[in-house]
Amino acid sequence: MSLDFNRILILMEKDWSDIKKSKYVVFSIIGLPILLVLIMPLTVVAPFTLLLETDAEEINILPMDFPGPTSNWNDLSDQQKIIVILVYFSHLCFLIIPCAIPSVIAADSIAGEKERKSFEGVLATPITDKEILIGKIGIPFLIGLIVTWISAVPYSIFTILVTYDKLGFIVVPDLNFILILLMFSPAAGLLTSICMVFVSSRVSSSRDAQQLGALIVLPFLLFIFSQLVLAFFSPLTILIGTGFLLFIDFLLFRLAVKSFSREYIITRLS
């Protein structure tokens, strides 16, 4: 059966209207990126730009043959190496934002509507189960992705302002950062959106969806993120991680489509 994208867009527009009515969700969408964009450069990176080189030598515990993430790594001083490493660790916020925001929105997507007694109207329309899932997954995924991309601009500016005097070159954005934004972040955000919408369809309240979804999604994503950190976001690692996540996304979506049942929602969660 072919998809009717007009029906999907109508459902997404409805969900967007509901999201704008929730002060908690709007605050999460706006507040979390602002905090991360400001905190990471100013509290994680900035203090190390004020160190004396002798102090940096005492702090630096990296082995001499450590494979650094930049092409000029061997020409950097100990202090510069520490700053570059901290900047790369700060990139983690662009793995957090596309996952955290969809988790808040998607948890409320079906379970929240059940609580508000508004989902029965959706189920009564000609829209198919697959179209419902795509529409419910689409809004949290797109919002998380757009907010992530927008946040990258002030983050890059703040990071350059904080580090350029000490480094003498622009450390971000680089190829690794661009690949994270364009490939890995969308794949991670899609995984979160699929999982949270599926969980939301199986529980009776948005609070239950948030708690159960966190137990399912966070450990898996933390494992993936830790592997990227250990590899210092090399382009190859990002490509491999993205491919793996997309494969998991495909499997999870197939599982969600097969498991989604409007009859279950009506009879078991009414």
Q: What is the pLDDT of residue 226?
A: 66
Pairwise CA distance, residues 15 & 140, whole Å: 9
The secondary structure of 138-151 as a DSSP string is HHHHHHHHHHHHHH
Domains of the chain, by residue range, sit at 5-53+70-268
The pLDDT of residue 250: 92
Q: Do you find a cis peptide bond into 140, omega within 30 degrees of 0?
A: no
211 pLDDT band (50/70/90 cuts)? low
Mean pLDDT over the full length of the chain: 78
How many angstroms separate the CA atoms of 79 and 88, rounded? Answer: 15
Q: What is the pLDDT of residues 218-260, one digit of tens each?
A: 666 666 666 556 555 678 888 888 888 899 899 989 888 888 7
**Surface-to-core class of residue 247, CB atoms within 10 Å of its CB (0-12 exposed, 13-18 middle, 19+ buried):** exposed
5-55 pLDDT per residue, tens: 888 888 888 888 878 877 877 887 888 888 888 777 777 777 777 765 555
Q: What is the pLDDT of residues 55-90, one digit of tens each?
A: 555 555 555 556 667 777 778 777 788 888 888 888
Two structure tokens written together for 44: 């994680």
Q: What would the two tokens of residue 247 be?
A: 């494969």
Evaluate whether 54 touches 78 at the Cβ level (below 8 Å).
no
- Three-state SS at 47: helix
C-alpha separations of 98 from 163, 196, 248 in Å: 25, 13, 17
**What does the pLDDT read at residue 182?**
92
